[in-house]
């Protein structure tokens, strides 16, 4: 069966690069918008019997998620053989557990919605928590951003490299990088009273004279990562960089980064930048997703797309 690639409007910029890397043009999706804001996307070409891949991240606003669900439903009702949903950035992933009374587990709810809409397979990159894969009752291909970050970090040729995590929740991710580079690990232990507001932070580990790389899955307001960078410099780090897959960059994130001790923050293009910054370097995940699409369509293992951290 043939492959057809489609994109939602939010991720058109990335989908075009993925399609170019894959070697197939994006299919045509037209949109009707009612005056009250209700949207109606429709696929403008036949997908009957085809292996369909729909590319759309679900960052804010929530219309991006709704658009994706409607496109999945449209492809399913048009008799496509398979509907594969590529979500480079899986929004609402931070709500993956009941951490206080009377809260929603949004990540599970989104998984249910995608399955109900007709998705046969999900592909995402660096989910906020690995266990989110278990929220789905369909196959999930969880790609790893290290595929693009490791070669870049190698190219820097840092002599005294060390890795750090800006909070204890990211220890596993940072430890994987440290093991690959045969480097040491430090932890910035933060205490938070509410979302996006840090009460205090302390450093665990010796960083004096080291080129430290902070590792996280996403950067939102950049408050945590900038505070961690300052703490590392105060404790003698020679340089501090950060690697974060998803550049949410809301609120005063750009101002925080530019005023911080960070030499640079390296992100992917799963989310488009609102503006350029001399301290932000963007690496593309298009080749990673294009290779994954080809392997999935050919029923091949995707294990070669993982750097063994």
Going by the annotation, the residues of the binding site for Mg(2+) are 128, 167
The DSSP bridge pattern shows strands 39-43 and 29-33 to be antiparallel
Query: Measuring CA to CA, which residue among 295, 107, 152 is closest to residue 305?
Result: 295
Q: What amino acid positions are annotated as catalytic residues? A: 190
Annotated binding residues for D-ribose 5-phosphate, as ranges? Answer: 192, 216, 220-224
Q: Which two tokens stand for residue 82?
A: 């398979």
Q: Which two tokens stand for residue 301?
A: 């293992």
Query: Measuring CA to CA, which residue among 157, 211, 202 is closest to residue 184?
Result: 211
Annotated binding residues, as ranges? Answer: 36-38, 94-95, 128, 167, 192, 216, 220-224
The DSSP bridge pattern shows strands 161-165 and 140-143 to be unpaired
Q: Which two tokens stand for residue 223?
A: 């408050």
Sign of CA dihedral 274, 277, 280, 283: positive
Q: Which two tokens stand for residue 193?
A: 């009273």
Q: For residue 80, what are the CA distances in angstroms to 30, 123, 206?
A: 18, 18, 56
Which residues on neighbouring strands pair with residue 84, listed in sequence order? 53, 121
């Amino acid at each position: 069966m043939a492959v057809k690639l489609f994109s939602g409007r939010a991720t058109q910029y990335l989908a075009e690069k993925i399609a170019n890397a894959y070697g197939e043009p994006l299919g045509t999706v037209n949109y009707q918008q009612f005056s009250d804001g209700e949207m109606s996307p429709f696929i403008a070409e036949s997908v009957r019997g085809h292996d369909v891949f729909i590319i759309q991240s679900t960052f804010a606003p929530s219309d991006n998620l709704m658009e994706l669900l409607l496109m999945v439903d449209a492809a399913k009702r048009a008799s496509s053989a398979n509907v594969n949903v590529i979500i480079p950035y899986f929004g609402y992933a931070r709500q993956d557990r009941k951490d206080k009374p009377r809260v929603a587990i949004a990540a599970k709810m989104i998984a249910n919605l995608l399955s109900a809409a007709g998705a046969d397979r999900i592909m995402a990159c660096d989910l906020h928590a690995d266990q989110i894969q278990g929220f789905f009752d369909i196959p999930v291909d969880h790609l790893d951003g290290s595929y693009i970050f490791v070669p870049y970090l190698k190219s820097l040729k840092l002599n005294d490299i060390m890795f750090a995590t800006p909070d204890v929740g990211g220890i596993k991710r940072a430890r994987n990088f440290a093991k690959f580079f045969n480097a040491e690990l430090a932890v910035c232990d933060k205490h938070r009273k509410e979302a996006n507001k840090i009460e205090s932070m302390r450093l665990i580990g010796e960083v004096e004279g080291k080129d430290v790389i902070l590792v996280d899955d996403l950067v939102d307001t950049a408050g945590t990562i900038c505070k961690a960078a300052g703490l590392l410099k105060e404790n003698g780090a020679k340089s501090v960089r950060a690697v974060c897959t998803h550049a949410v960059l809301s609120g005063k994130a750009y101002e925080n980064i530019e005023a911080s001790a960070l030499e640079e923050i390296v992100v992917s293009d799963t989310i488009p930048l609102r503006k350029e910054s001399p301290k932000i370097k963007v690496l593309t995940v298009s080749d990673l997703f294009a290779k994954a699409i080809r392997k999935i369509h050919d029923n091949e293992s995707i294990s070669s797309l993982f750097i063994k951290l």
